[in-house]
Amino acid sequence: MSVRLFLRDTSTVFSREFVPVLREPLGLLFTMGQPLLFLFLFGPLLAGTQSFEGQESPWQWFVPGILIMMCLSGPMMAGYSLLVELIGGSMERLLVTPLNRTAMLVGRTMKEFVILLAQAALIIALAVPLGFRPHLPGVLTGLAILVVFGIGLGSLSFVLAIASSPSGNLFYGVTQLVLFPLILLSGVLLPMDFGPAWLQAAAALNPVTHIVEAERALFSGRFADTSVLYGMLWACVVAATGLAMGTRAMRRGI
């Protein structure tokens, strides 16, 4: 019964967030822009380097990386949109309804995810002619991990938004301060293998690194790789932490 209510509330929040996208599809085009820039302006540079020991196409390595980058920025945007609603009165109005608190977080993140999946499909489709060979079950599993990871990130971003209101300064500061190190230290753009030992040690502590490695293994169909297990674990840890903190923040009152 309560699961049904949870799903109903999640779908309510999801459709609230998604309807404006359908009403103004042009905005979608802009969100597609950034990953495509990376694919076409940065990808060829990577493909031109000789550092991939000829094992597989650099696209095999780079396409999962772009998806992770989008997966990091999507939830951040979700937090930003929440912050705007917190500063205005619309979040308060929703909080006075019996709407499930967790559903509020999940529904919003799901919207970012539908967009992420659309972007992923587009990028994969465009990368295939360049030499990317997706392993379908692997890609699907990889996207599932990203959904779990993204729900966690989204919730954390909501917690940050709640802590930052009403001024919002904390939110802008922390996202700037955290997002770039997370990306740079995860080996999304360049392999960490060539960095000094301290950088590699720092990268090993970054959950994003493990997710990236899991995605790369999965996109090439290497299900048995231990990185897949670690990636899944990290995604679950982030999701559990995010949802627990997010629901708690909502309960404590805003």
Residues that bind other proteins (CB under 8 A): 5, 8-9, 12, 15-16, 19-20, 23, 81, 84-85, 88-90, 92-99, 166, 251-254
Residue number with CB closer to other proteins (23 or 196): 23
Instruction: Tell me how far, at minimum, the Cβ of 9 lies from other proteins, in Å.
Output: 8
Residue number with CB closer to other proteins (15 or 226): 15
Residue type, 62: F
Instruction: Tell me how far, at minimum, the Cβ of 118 lies from other proteins, in Å.
Output: 19
The vertex-197 CA angle with 56 and 72, nearest 5°, equals 60
| Burial 219-233, CB ≥16 within 10 A → b, else e | bbbeeebebbebbbe
Instruction: Tell me how far, at minimum, the Cβ of 158 lies from other proteins, in Å.
Output: 15
Residue number with CB closer to other proteins (31 or 220): 31
Residue number with CB closer to other proteins (140 or 248): 248
Contact between 108 and 13 (Cβ < 8 Å):
yes
Instruction: Tell me how far, at minimum, the Cβ of 194 lies from other proteins, in Å.
Output: 44
Residue number with CB closer to other proteins (100 or 141): 100
State how far the Cα of 150 lies from the Cα of 156, in Å rounded to an integer.
10
Instruction: Tell me how far, at minimum, the Cβ of 17 lies from other proteins, in Å.
Output: 9
Instruction: Tell me how far, at minimum, the Cβ of 87 lies from other proteins, in Å.
Output: 8
State how far the Cα of 157 lies from the Cα of 210, in Å rounded to an integer.
20
C-alpha distances out from residue 51 to 48, 149, 209, Å: 9, 29, 19
Q: Of 153, 182, 179, 157, whose CA–CA distance to 168 is shortest? A: 157
Residue number with CB closer to other proteins (2 or 55): 2
Residue number with CB closer to other proteins (49 or 90): 90
C-alpha distances out from residue 194 to 38, 63, 135, 199, 237, Å: 21, 20, 27, 10, 28
Instruction: Tell me how far, at minimum, the Cβ of 25 lies from other proteins, in Å.
Output: 14
